[in-house]
Amino acid sequence: MTMSVGVKPFEQIPVVELPEDYQMRTGPFLAEMYRQHGPIFRASNFGAEVVYLVGPEANRFMLLSDRLKFSHHIGWGEMFSVSYIFGDGLLSMDGPEHDAHRHLMNPAFAISYMDRYVPLMNRIIRERIATWGERGEVDVYEEARKITFDVAAEALTGLRAGPEVDRFREVFSQMLMLGMMVSSPEEWDTRMAALRAELDGLIRPKIAERRAHPTDDILGLLVTAKDAAGQPLSDERIIAHANILLVAGHETSTSLASWLLYQLTQQPEVTQRVLDEQLALVGPTAEPTLDQIKRMKYLDLVLLEAERVYPPVSNGPRGVVEDFEFAGYHVPAGKYVFYSIAASHLLPAVFAQPEVFDPERFAAPREEHKRTPYGLVGFGGGPRVCIGINFAKVEIKALVSQTLRRYTLEAVPDQTLVQFYRVTAVPLYGIRLRVRERATAALE
């Protein structure tokens, strides 16, 4: 592509230096760089030069209008090593093959399909939170991880909770944390190879089982699917899909659910409104149905605000496969680009007083997210928006519904709370909450 007249060359894109604590203040730092430099700047990150495209116009450009100039495979797959660690599932595929596989899986993630998952979500949530009261204090991040992983394993792959699922969760967790636990790239390589071998040993027999006896879940759907040439999907592809669904299906929801519960301990009025809505819709002790979950309109607002303030994915990585121009600069093919979720959510031109947790910003008449499309992008956007958005929202709402009606929650004072961004966000030292059983009579 030749450069348009007046467009500046790549070398003139402002350069910024990421601070040492970048991973602890990714959003605020990048929002400040946006304020100083505008919607495009570059920095050295992950050992590579990355161009940041920030703000709603940038998100729309990368997720919708010009999305085919960007590769998920190069971004998620190569730069973030997803292809090596988990194989190429939906997240790191490109082109027509991605679209065909996405088309295959879409129906299992439609909101109407959530009817099948709600009973198992409710059961797992009930069983897992049952012990919180007697324990008196829990790390809600750890607890949410167990719940979301059991739910993903059963709903998506038909694996029932138990020691085997616990081991799966443990292996995924170690894979995701490995970067923080090793002291050299060589150690990372050796330990990751061992974890990959273990994961492969766990999952391969499940594929063989499903091929012999297809089940009524997404794994069952994948083993019986045929590609455009009428061939079944390879074991490698099915394993990669299962891995990505299990990882993406629990890691991000864990983070968002636990920050949401924490935030409720800080906002008594918001919590009371959520509770009132729950009691009006579901009553004091019943488990919520999908229909009731869909009608939890106030909780929807709170969930949107949690997505804005605590986005579990900070940046969407891409490789540039076709030259483009954005905001007056030329970016050639071969570069890495991030659209920044965490920074977009903190721009004052889009979200009034972005530092304030205020669910009402999403209610009429303000509706800040509708006023600026592509301003709120916690689940991405465009044709490749998160496939699990309904799944995650229904699950988190069911969790909040059961937890709030059963317990009162209070944050343990003086704990250090840090949102740390690796590829996804982790509360670095957990989130400890004090839990007390509510007298049911008080709810009636």
DSSP-derived 3-state class of residue 292: helix
One character per residue 370-399, x = contact with ligand HEM (rule: CB under 6 A): --------xxx---x-xxx--xx-------
Nearer to ligand HEM, 29 or 149 (CB): 149
248 binds ligand HEM (CB under 6 A): yes
DSSP string spanning 109-140?
A: GSGGGGGGHHHHHHHHHHHHHTTHHHH-EEEH
Q: How many residues does the chain have?
A: 444
Q: Which residues in the 24-83 window bind ligand HEM by CB under 6 A?
A: 72
User: Applying CB under 6 A, which of residues 51, 54, 223, 245 lies at the interface with ligand HEM?
Assistant: 245
Q: Using CA of residue 292, residue 298, residue 301, residue 307, what is the dihedral sign?
A: negative
CB of 30 to ligand HEM, least distance (A): 15
CB of 62 to ligand HEM, least distance (A): 8
222 binds ligand HEM (CB under 6 A): no
Applying CB under 6 A, the site for ligand HEM has a residue count of 23
Q: Which residues in the 321-380 window bind ligand HEM by CB under 6 A?
A: 378-380
Question: Would you state the structure tokens that stand for residue 283, as one six-digit string?
Answer: 């009553």
| Residue 245: CB atoms within 10 Å | 28
User: Applying CB under 6 A, which of residues 238, 256, 342, 431 lies at the interface with ligand HEM?
Assistant: 256
CB of 38 to ligand HEM, least distance (A): 22
CB-count burial class (<10 Å; 0-12, 13-18, 19+) for 12: exposed
CB of 118 to ligand HEM, least distance (A): 14
Q: Which residues in the 181-220 window bind ligand HEM by CB under 6 A?
A: none
Angle between helices 389-406 and 140-157 (to 10 degrees): 130
Nearer to ligand HEM, 100 or 286 (CB): 100
Instruction: Compute the distance between CA of residue 284 and CA of residue 286 in angstroms, rounded to an integer.
Output: 6
Q: Quick one: DSSP state of residue 2? A: P
Instruction: Compute the distance between CA of residue 62 and CA of residue 381 in angstroms, rounded to an integer.
Output: 9
CB of 171 to ligand HEM, least distance (A): 18
User: Applying CB under 6 A, which of residues 27, 39, 249, 354 lies at the interface with ligand HEM?
Assistant: 249
User: Applying CB under 6 A, which of residues 59, 122, 157, 252 lies at the interface with ligand HEM?
Assistant: 252
Instruction: Compute the distance between CA of residue 67 and CA of residue 113 in angstroms, rounded to an integer.
Output: 28
One character per residue 95-134, x = contact with ligand HEM (rule: CB under 6 A): -------x--------------------------------
CB of 186 to ligand HEM, least distance (A): 29
Residue closest to ligand HEM (Cβ)? 388
CA proximity to 313, closest of 335, 344, 348: 344
DSSP string spanning 157-181?
A: H-PPSSHHHHHHHHHHHHHHHHHHH
User: Applying CB under 6 A, which of residues 39, 312, 427, 430 lies at the interface with ligand HEM?
Assistant: 312
Nearer to ligand HEM, 43 or 155 (CB): 155
For strand 324-326 and strand 137-139, is the pairing parallel, antiparallel, or unpaired? unpaired
Question: Would you state the structure tokens that stand for residue 56, as one six-digit string?
Answer: 């709603």
CB of 288 to ligand HEM, least distance (A): 18
Instruction: Compute the distance between CA of residue 104 and CA of residue 117 in angstroms, rounded to an integer.
Output: 18
Kind and range of the H or E run holding 408: strand 407-411
Interaction site with ligand HEM (CB under 6 A): 72, 90-91, 102, 244-245, 248-249, 252-253, 256, 312-313, 316, 378-380, 384, 386-388, 391-392
